Structure 1
Amino acid sequence: MNRYARRRLTAAVLTVVAVTAGVTACGSGSGSSGTHSAGSGTYTVWDPYPQFDKTSAWAQVLDTCGKGAGVKIKRTAFDTSDLTNKALLAAQQGNSPDVLIVDNPVVSTLAEAGVLTTTDDNKIDTTKVDPNLLAAGQSGGKTYGTPIGANTLALYYNKKVLKEAGVDIASIKDWKSLTAALAKVKQAGKKGITFSAIGTEEGSFQFLPWFWGSGAKLTELDSPQGVSALSLWKNWLTKGYAPNSVINNTQTTSWQEFASGDYAFAENGTWQLAAADKGGLDYGVLPIPAAAGGNASAPTGGEFVTVPVQDDTGRYTTSQKLVSCLTGDENLNFTDKTLSYVAPTSIIQAKEKAANPELTPWIEAVKAAKGRTSDDLGTKYPKISEQMWKAVQSALSGSQSPKDAMVAAQVAAAK
């Protein structure tokens, strides 16, 4: 790693460590979490899935890929934010894992810091991956890994509430028809829509489908389209179609409101499918409509499988085999079921759809999804996102008009 890359890495470490202090992790297998202490016959994998222990299906997939490559896998799992910190610090110390699985918005940060190799470096085949999903791992014209799966946002709807309100779900095709449906629901004495507008990345994540669905771009927060998206949310609160609680709602608390059975709609993700089934609600799923119709681009969730820079470049050949195994057709379908993801390739999406037709709206949403760091925003995104969620908070709380809030956000983001 050259001197300039070292400086970038040090700056990135200081920035991330300032945000998050403690580190928690759980591991599978034997030995310490140190990368190369385990010996040349052992390859280390770090992932953000601490909910899966060494007996899980996910750990078994890793072990199978290791056996196929002729090595033993030493896996360590971290919480998502902690994983970024550890990856940056490990790179600074020359102790990176062989394979690193990270949340897709983090890829550009690690790439800019010089932590990751490119797919060209390691001959990792990404030709089958849907371009809109692969874009989340691209920066400066280069690709730094491949997605293991994707999730995104859509609208869950309560069939019983809509029936009582006389709303035909097929009539909802754009913002105007959705708002008209919310008005009918309120008139019927029920609650309209709940979502998360909290002042964190969760709030930005949930606002983005409406922002992008208006035709707005993240480089112009104060465009008329961007203002119209925030005005839509503000109008829903003003008319009582959405509760004031959205200002403090996380995606979890928003889901809990919907699970009460009183709401017609909830904006949430594939990760709530199990809860929806368990809760016994008669629900359906609708891709989030764009302002003028069609499906809005929702932000891509999910992780990328990457290969960090190693001093011993001879390790890359085996790392490539591991990545290809984890993201190849043979394992991808099983892996994405394990992780509750939609596959990142059309080939496996078709198999998922055939096996479970209820995944159709989610597959459609993923096909329309967009990476938060796409459009070559890279590490500019976090600053833009912070100003966006602040604008949402200001407008929904009534401290600023949607236009003034977005103008202020754009000025701050451009500094």
Structure 2
Amino acid sequence: MTTSRQTVRTVAALTALACVLAGCSSTDDGGGEAGSEAGGTYTIWDPYPQFDNSSDWVKLLTRCGTDAGVTVERTGYDTTDLTNKALLAAQQDNSPDVLIVDNPVVSTLADAGVLTTTDEVKVDTSAVSPNLLAAGQIGGKTYGIPIGANTLALYYNKKVLAAAKVDAASVKDWATLTAALAKVKAAGKKGITFSAIGTEEGSFQFLPWYWGSGANLTQLDSPQAVSALTLWTDWLKQGYAPNSVLNNTQTTSWQEFATGDFAFSENGTWQLANAKKTGFEYGIIPIPSSVGGTAPAPTGGEFVTAPVQSQTGRYAVSEKLIACLTSADNALTTDTTLSYIAATDAVQQKQVAENPELKVWVEAVKAAKGRTSDDLGTKYPKISQPLWTAFQAALSGSASPQDALKTAQSSAAR
């Protein structure tokens, strides 16, 4: 569902005008009493339907409301459903006071005129890592604050690498990773598994290699981009990665790694709990860029935003709720619950102090970037789909990497 900024505002204005002419009464459904800065009910929508009222997350929301002197009414939706409901609510001038959405959605909602800027609501973003905040920035304005982030790295099976006489610390760039995969195959084991499915999930997994080549999303057929796709296609040709990657989701890719046969798995922080259940010793290293160093991986995770309200006096309490949800103490608890890396350096240090295993993930997040960063905003989906179509074509052998990406660039430029 796509709505222009002007459409949302026009529909909201017409709705308000109709209410005035019909003598409508004010209710809490659309935002409570006009100009209210304390008391009443404030609504929060989030994408965590798995958490019920007994969860730490919902208890935090309730506590933040109590601290702000209001009652919080919370609803959890599936991610896709949440976006659609947020757009519809904005048209009806019935938006929640606080909206927590997946970071690529922020640009869509901002472009549709659904969200306020952090300047309007006076949300302090000064402590947030700039690379994480960038996912919520369009046209020089910021439309929310990240609650935390997850990203991708390489899990490895210590036993498989030991059998192949590979030291994980030797993997520094694409050449050393490919050399490690060759040794693993020679030792009779399987190399690397990942998700190259023809959806956003596949693009998410391709981006560390794409960005790690030095390629930019505005030029899908650059020599750097071709080198990234050639890396993946060569791994399949050499038998270092299985053909199943074409249909793998990140979950099924993980299930392959969990068999104990693979040396490496590209996956995220959300698999840490499952890693402990595999029954074998594992380690984690950052995804390397082509020439060395940590590749920029895409950030997952949500932004806390404040939708536009016709009763602007409500923003003062919304700011208090957002400040509470993203405060250092609360962020530490929340990010632990969600398996996220915090958005600020201070909380990241606390996370590593409590769990040294998170050090590699903090490094990965520091190098990461938002998919809608570089001011791509709503252009990103129009780039991502041609990109996943391209790597599907190349990996299946129906087109060369260069031809597949040339077609992708033509499609994205339309």
- 1:338 deviates by 1.2
2:15 aligns to what? none
What's 2:366 paired with? 367
Distance 2:78 2:139 in 1: 28
| Secondary structure, aligned partner of 1:125 | coil
Alpha-carbon spacing, 1:286–1:400, altered in 2? closer, same or farther (3 Å): same
Deviation at 1:33, TM superposition (A): 11
CA distance in 2, matches of 1:161, 1:8: 56
Displacement over 3 Å in runs of 4+ = 8-11, 32-40
Partner residue, 1:273: 272
SS in 2 for 1:222: coil
Cα offsets for 1:2-21 (capped at 9, x unmatched)? x973426799xxxxxxxxxx
Residue 5 (structure 1) aligned with residue 5 (structure 2): yes
Matched positions, count: 393
Aligned 8 A contact 2:30 2:93 in 1: no
Whole-Å Cα distance in 2 between the matches of residues 363 and 330 of structure 1?
18
1-structure distance, mates of 2:394, 2:143: 37
- The equivalent of 1:330 in structure 2 is 329
Partner of 1:299 in structure 2?
298
Q: How does 1:170-189 map to 2 (within 5 A)?
A: 170-189=169-188
**Structure 2 residue aligned with 1:114:** 113
Matches of 1:4 and 1:227, distance apart in 2: 35
Structure 2 Cα separation of the partners of residues 66 and 35 of structure 1:
18
Q: Which residue of 2 aligns with 1:350?
A: 349
Give the match for residue 75 of structure 1: 74
Q: Distance in 2 between matches of 1:280 and 1:112?
A: 47
Q: Distance in 1 between matches of 2:133 and 2:167?
A: 36
| AA of the residue aligned to 2:358 | L
Please, what is the CA RMSD of the aligned residues? 1.8
Give 1:340 deviation, angstroms: 1.1
Per-residue CA deviations over 1:11-42 (Å, capped at 9, x if unaligned) read 9xxxxxxxxxxxxxxxxxxxx99554799611
Does the 8 Å contact 2:31/2:311 carry over to 1? no
Looking at structure 2, the residues matched to 281 and 75 of structure 1 have their Cα atoms a distance apart, in angstroms, of 40
Question: What TM-score, normalized to structure 1?
Answer: 0.92
> Percent of counterpart pairs with the same letter?
70
- Aligned pairs for 1:45-64 (under 5 A) are 45-64=44-63
Cross-structure match for 1:391:
390
Shift of 1:57: 0.6
Q: Could you say which residue in structure 1 is the equivalent of 2:154?
A: 155
Spell out the pairing of 1:192-231 with structure 2 (5 A cutoff): 192-231=191-230
Measure, in 2, the Cα distance between the counterparts of 1:382 and 1:207: 15
Measured against aligned partners, the alpha-carbon deviations of 1:126-173 in whole angstroms (never above 9, x if no partner) come to 000000000000001000000000000000000010001100011100
User: How far apart, CA to CA, are the structure 1 residues paired with 2:143 and 2:93?
Assistant: 19
**Superposition map of 1:254-293 within 5 A:** 254-293=253-292
Determine if contact 1:8/1:112 at 8 Å carries over to the other structure: no
Question: 1:123 aligns to what?
Answer: 122
| Deviation by residue 1:320-342 (Cα, 9 ceiling, x = unmatched) | 00000000112111111111100
User: SS in structure 1 opposite 2:155?
Assistant: strand
Q: Is the 8 A contact 1:198 1:246 kept in 2?
A: yes
Residue equivalent to 2:380: 381
* 383-392 vs 332-341, greater mean Cα deviation: 332-341
**Partner in structure 2 of residue 89 of structure 1:** 88
Larger radius of gyration, structure 1 or 2?
Answer: 2
The aligned residue for residue 310 of structure 1 is 309
Q: For 2:198 and 2:119, how far apart are their aligned partners in 1?
A: 38
SS in 2 for 1:220: coil
CA deviations over 1:85-105 (Å, ceiling 9, x no partner):
000000011000000000000
> What is the TM-score with the length of structure 2 in the denominator?
0.93
Matching residue's letter, 2:5: A
| Uncovered stretches (5+) of structure 1, i.e. residues with no partner | 12-31
Q: C-alpha distance in 1, partners of 2:149/2:350?
A: 15
Q: Which residue of 2 aligns with 1:29?
A: none
Alpha carbons of 1:9 and 1:274: their partners in 2 closer, same or farther (altered >3 Å)?
farther
**CA separation of 1:34 and 1:282: change in aligned 2, threshold 3 A:** farther
